[in-house]
Structure 1
Amino acid sequence: MFTSAKWQRIKSGFRGPEDFYPLKHVSHREWGRGFTLPDSCVLGTNIEFPKVGERPQFSITNLIHVTDSNGVQGILADQCLKKANLKQIGEDLKVQFSWWGVQVSQEDMEKARGAKREAVTKQLNQTMEGAPARDVGSLRDSLLEQFVSSPAFLKVSNYGNFKFTYKLNDLIGEYEKSVCKGNYPEFRVLGTFKYNIEIMHTVVVHPPGVEIFGQCPPLPSEVITREGAEWKWRPESTGSEMRVLIQGGDGSWRVSDCDPDCRRWDFVSFAFYLPDENPEFPLPLELRHVSVCEMERSQRYRPPYTHMSRGEAEEFYLSVLKGYERFC
């Protein structure tokens, strides 16, 4: 399946290159420094990579599939999710997947922010010994803005205005029935995709015995673990900005944006394999599964140029539903 010993460049385009490291969920240390820094690196100059147990932990309960106006219209009409384009995962190897991202709960985000707040407060008190609590609090709040704030944790989307949301274990059940023919699917480490400011760790879901995934290690990985029906995600980088604590010549402290001030952020995708002979993933579609969302500002004018304002998207969605009375 995979012929590259380490990583390979899949493509280059106007939005930047796409690199793929197969068979492994690659840590930030392995990609090198530069834009690729974990949360633990951005509070000062002493860079230390966290141990696995020190990473924040988020429960994976829901998965989301985001699409544009053309996609949502086609999905509702077909009552089926299809992958229109093949994904290159090796030399001369392209495979069809249904792609899903992780949706993190508000409760888990607040828990992670609270833990980071305590850690940053402790570090600042040690670094700025004797500083007034008001100064510590102001600097802490400024530093905290770079944590649990990347697009992986936002309600806006990079890919379109229409979001399909399902419980992960419900999706697995539907995939077992429709694609695996009643056999329980396997979950393996497909690899890591690297973009300009994103790192995507991918889990491949496939029927038992699919030869092309035979080399892929089974879960768990350092990033994704599973115990029964419980799934956990442990990212290294939860923000897309870099801010550091700096002491001036007069002894005062301030928080400064780095130059460049951006860094790569982690997210997870589940790639449900769709065999060539049956490239469909039929799912029960109900109103509760579909919602309208804003599109991230920087992504609104990317091809195929289908961005809508939230009001336009809601109006379009209602007009689509009128054509499918079974959803009303």
Structure 2
Amino acid sequence: MHKDGRTSPSAQFKKQHLSLSNIKKTETIKNDYLLKPYIPDYPELVEFQVKKVSHVTGEHGVLGIFANSGFKQPSNLENNKHYFLWWNLSVTSHDIFSAEDRFLTSLFPGRSAAQICNGSPILQHFTNSEAFLEESSYGNFRFTFSLKELLWHYGNQFCGPDRPVLHIYDTALYKKEIQYTVVVHPPNVHLYDDYPRLPNDGVGDSVCWYNNGAMWWRCQSPSDDYNSVLELNTSS
């Protein structure tokens, strides 16, 4: 049930999207990057509104997609088994710019128009984790679509008059990555009835939610190397 070429996670929390602070409180953590005694200040809880998703695969996978004229479930799989076609959020430079504007507005709600226009970019120095890179370790072939249109086509083909259902699937920890998975399925599939529904707003400590054609992601650690340090000048 893992992406092509990916090893099993070091820890997995089913039916939950755990925040970084809650992950660190668990007793099963073995990831060195989560146990560092000192991490420089960086932009925390930045909200990205992402409207595109990508499917990345290798040569074998892309040949299968072309042969089947699309993304299809293998015919030999049983209906009562978990099967996933993996899609990642595709974060664009515009998504990063918009997230930065929301982040700065939350810190400095009284910014003038001149301050907004003349401010130096911040998030470009921190958004260097794998989630923001165009390159992928899972293959050289990338298919990118609008999430809203992808869900519409999926619903049109598999859900009849109903809409696809989105559930919180798990939080999985890898060597240098925290993965939050949302499972999408037709209403007549009942494998995930006991999984929480994905919220449609960011109330509370929600990590991900879906609203108005976009997946909202409250990123808690965008940096991979922590070579930059966030410094706030609160003087007027």
TM-score calculated relative to the size of structure 2: 0.70
Is 2:176 the partner of 1:192?
no
- 2:234 matched to which residue of 1? none
Aligned to 1:242, which of 207, 216, 226? 226
In the alignment, what sits opposite 2:33? 35
Cα distance in 1 for partners of 2:151, 2:188 equals 17
Higher relative contact order (CA 8 A, sep 6+): 2
Aligned-residue RMSD, C-alpha: 3.7
* 1:70 aligns to 2:70 (yes or no): no
Deviation at 1:111, TM superposition (A): 4.1
Equivalent position SS for 2:219: coil
Q: Which amino acid aligns with 2:147?
A: L
Q: Is the 8 A contact 2:58 2:138 kept in 1?
A: yes
Residue 227 in structure 1 maps to residue 211 in structure 2: yes
Offset at 1:80? 2.1
Post-superposition Cα deviations, 1:44-84, rounded to whole Å, max 9, x if no partner, equal: 5xx9xx9xxx6111112111000111111111121021356
Q: Distance in 1 between matches of 2:177 and 2:87?
A: 16
Equivalent in the alignment of 2:90: 103
Number of matched pairs: 198
Q: Which moved more, 1:235-244 or 1:214-223?
A: 235-244
Secondary structure in structure 2 of the residue aligned to 1:35: helix
Aligned counterpart, 2:136 = 157
* Residue identity matched to 2:148: N
Q: Tell me the CA shift for residue 15 of structure 1.
A: 4.9
Query: Counting strand residues as a fraction of each chain, which structure ranks higher?
Result: 1
Which one of the candidate residues 17, 28, 35 is aligned to 1:25?
A: 17
Q: Deviations over 1:153-194 (max 9, x none)?
A: 111112111111111111111111222233211111011111
Distance 1:185 1:144, change over 3 A: closer
Percent identity reads: 31
Aligned pairs for 1:269-308 (under 5 A) are: none
SS, match of residue 104 in structure 1: coil
Q: Secondary structure at the match of 1:192?
A: strand
Cα distance between partner residues in 2 of 1:94 and 1:18: 23
How far did 1:219 drift? 1.6
3-state secondary structure, aligned to 1:99:
coil
Matched-pair contact (CA < 8 Å) for 1:116–1:144 = no
Match of 2:233 in 1: none
3-state SS, counterpart of residue 175 of structure 1: helix
- Name 1:57's counterpart in structure 2: 47
Counterpart-to-counterpart distance in 2, 1:167 and 1:185: 15
Distance 2:171 2:99 in 1: 24
For 2:105 and 2:167, the matched residues in 1 are separated by: 35
Question: Is the 2:126–2:226 Cα contact (8 Å) retained in structure 1?
Answer: no
- Higher mean C-alpha deviation, range 59-68 or range 173-182: 173-182
Q: Give structure 1 stretches of 5+ with no counterpart.
A: 1-9, 87-92, 121-139, 246-328
Q: Which amino acid is the alignment partner of residue 22 of structure 1?
A: K
CA contact (8 A) 1:148 1:239 kept: yes
- Contact 1:186 1:207 survives alignment (8 Å): yes
2:58 aligned with 1:79: no
Counterpart-to-counterpart distance in 1, 2:53 and 2:123: 26
Q: Which SS does the other structure have where 1:234 is aligned? A: strand
Specify the SS of the correspondent of 2:61.
helix
TM norm structure 1: 0.52
- Provide structure 2 residue ranges, at least 5 long, that are not aligned to the other structure: 108-119, 230-236
Q: Which residue among 177, 192, 206 is the counterpart of 1:213?
A: 192
Contact 2:50/2:95, CA 8 A, preserved across alignment: no
1:180 equivalenced with 2:166 (yes/no): no
